[in-house]
Amino acid sequence: MIYLKLFLCFLQVGLFSVGGGYVAIPLIQNQVVVLNHWLTMSEFTDLVTIAEMTPGPIAINSATFVGIRIAGFPGALVATFGCILPSCIIVSILSYIYTRYKSMSALQGVLSGLRPAVVALIASAGLSILQLVVFAGRDIELGNVQWIGVGLFLSAFLLLRRLKWNPILVMSLCGAVSLALYAALGIS
Amino acid sequence: MRSLSKRQTLLKLFVSNLYISAFTFGGGFVIVTFMKRKFVDQLQWLEENEMLDMTALAQSSPGAIAVNASILVGWRVAGFWGMVVGVLGTIIPPMVVLSIVSIIYNAFITNPYVAVTLKGMQAGVAAVILDVVFGLGANVVKQRNALLVLIMVLAFIATYFFNVNVIYIILAGALVGLLMEYAGKKKGAA
């Protein structure tokens, strides 16, 4: 039965993708392309591109995309549910443990070491995106600098840091300015 | 949370997650920075440290970071139903968008207007994340503990320049923290 198959397939993706986004890609590929032949490799590459360009976690994006193509909207629901079920169970247990033992000194110690590491991880994720913006994914040299991207980034950063603007507004404005420049002057 | 009824809190939680999820492109850490702005800075439902702890837990658990983070925030803010509405708010936007895109996907991925808008938005995303990082990093430095700053710097070098698996970085941070706690106790300084 196709619904059960979709459910079990994405249950495994949800259960084994520890560490988010990029870890999930090979798992999804294995399930969807290699084991079940639901998508070709080229369709799968398109899926990854689309997932990068649209909001939301790649696992959820894939579950919806594959589910719809294989078994329509109910397929998307079943696949997405399979994908989030392991998280709902495991993370809920962790949440309980965290709340209950938060004040324990050993856990306090663990957490105090974790926090700076998490800040570093977020910083690294931010810089990777900035690098993509500034050099458009090409080599790091002056000739490849995307000046519009640099300008947008600096203006956005100032609006956020100095004027405390709403981040989603700032982000949407960046998209709008970029679109307007392209539509009006043909530059990108 | 203070003066809101349970139903209002759930509604607010749902709408916040929906809004954050709908506008957050890119990986899990992006959504976590938006959650920090919303739940810590704006609504003051969580403390900054809690949000960082939750980020570490969300990152080290199976599944998507965004979903895991919304489960943790949901439980913390409004219990079981908080978890349910939080997850729904987080998964509905990508489900709707992908449903539409899967129907029109050829036109979508080759459209230059779509591409250029998304490219501009990436610049905004980078600014949002680095803005949050500045605040968080400053708070680590303010604690005047050289070891914490060292953890931050080494973790950054390991992940950004050497692509060390995030799980090892988190485990290492946890271990150093635990050792610090015991060393502090021995000295009687804790």
Q: What is the mean pLDDT of each run of 10 residues along chain B (190 residues)?
A: 78 94 77 90 92 88 90 94 95 92 78 85 85 88 90 92 81 88 66
Higher pLDDT, A47 or A130: A130
For residues A7 and A32, membership in a common domain is answered with yes
% of residues, chain A, pLDDT over 70: 97
For residues A68 and A80, membership in a common domain is answered with yes
For residues A50 and A22, membership in a common domain is answered with yes
Q: Which of residues 41-60 of A touch B (CB under 8 A)?
A: 46, 49-50, 52-60
Q: What is the pLDDT of residues A93-107, one digit of tens each?
A: 999 999 888 888 888
For residues A154 and A180, membership in a common domain is answered with yes
Kindly list the residues from chain A whose CB atom is less than 8 angstroms away from the CB atom of residue B39: none
Cβ atoms within 10 Å, residue A141: 8
Question: Does residue A160 contact residue B128 with C-beta atoms inside 8 Å?
Answer: yes
Q: What is the pLDDT of residues B62-114, one digit of tens each?
A: 889 899 999 999 999 999 999 999 999 999 999 999 898 888 877 777 788 88
Tracing tokens 């050497």 back to the chain, one arrives at B162
Least CA distance to B48: which residue of chain A? A115
SS (H, E, C) A10-56: HHHHHHHCECCHHHHHHHHHHHHHHHCCCCCHHHHHHHHHHHHHCEC
How many domains is chain A partitioned into structurally? 2
B92 touches chain A (CB under 8 A): no
Least CA distance to B20: which residue of chain A? A168
For residues A18 and A78, membership in a common domain is answered with yes
CA distance B5 to chain A (A): 22
Name which of A73, A106, A124 is nearest B160 (Cβ-Cβ): A124
Q: What is the pLDDT of residue A16?
A: 80
Q: Which of residues 131-170 of A touch B (CB under 8 A)?
A: 132-133, 148-149, 152-153, 156-157, 159-161, 167-168, 170
For residues A47 and A111, membership in a common domain is answered with no
For residues A8 and A78, membership in a common domain is answered with yes
For residues A128 and A163, membership in a common domain is answered with yes
Q: What is the pLDDT of residues A151-188, one digit of tens each?
A: 999 999 999 999 988 887 888 899 899 999 999 888 77
Provide the mean pLDDT of chain A: 87
Least CA distance to B90: which residue of chain A? A56
**pTM score:** 0.79
Chain-chain contact of A122 with B148 (C-beta, under 8 angstroms): no
As for the ipTM of the complex, it is: 0.79
- Out of A74, A101, A128, a domain closes at A101
- Out of A82, A101, A120, a domain closes at A101
Encode burial over B3-37: b for 16+ CB neighbours within 10 A, e otherwise: eeeeeebbebbbebbbebbbbbbbbbbbbbbbbbb
3-state secondary structure of B77: helix
Chain-chain contact of A84 with B172 (C-beta, under 8 angstroms): no
Chain-chain contact of B173 with A116 (C-beta, under 8 angstroms): yes
Q: Which of residues 9-28 of B touch A (CB under 8 A)?
A: 19-28
Q: What is the pLDDT of residues A1-51, one digit of tens each?
A: 899 999 999 999 888 877 666 667 777 888 888 889 998 877 787 787 777
Q: What is the DSSP letter of B25?
A: B
Chain-chain contact of B52 with A119 (C-beta, under 8 angstroms): yes
For residues A94 and A110, membership in a common domain is answered with no
Structural domain including A142 reads 105-185
Nearest C-alpha neighbor of A164 from the set B134, B61, B151: B134
For residues A52 and A124, membership in a common domain is answered with no
- Out of A41, A75, A101, a domain closes at A101
For residues A118 and A57, membership in a common domain is answered with no
User: What is d(CA B74, CA B94) in angstroms, rounded to the nearest whole number?
Assistant: 19
Q: What count of CB pairs under 8 Å joins A to B?
A: 366
For residues A82 and A150, membership in a common domain is answered with no
Q: What is the pLDDT of residue B1?
A: 46
Q: What is the pLDDT of residue B187?
A: 60
Question: Does residue B176 contact residue A110 with C-beta atoms inside 8 Å?
Answer: no
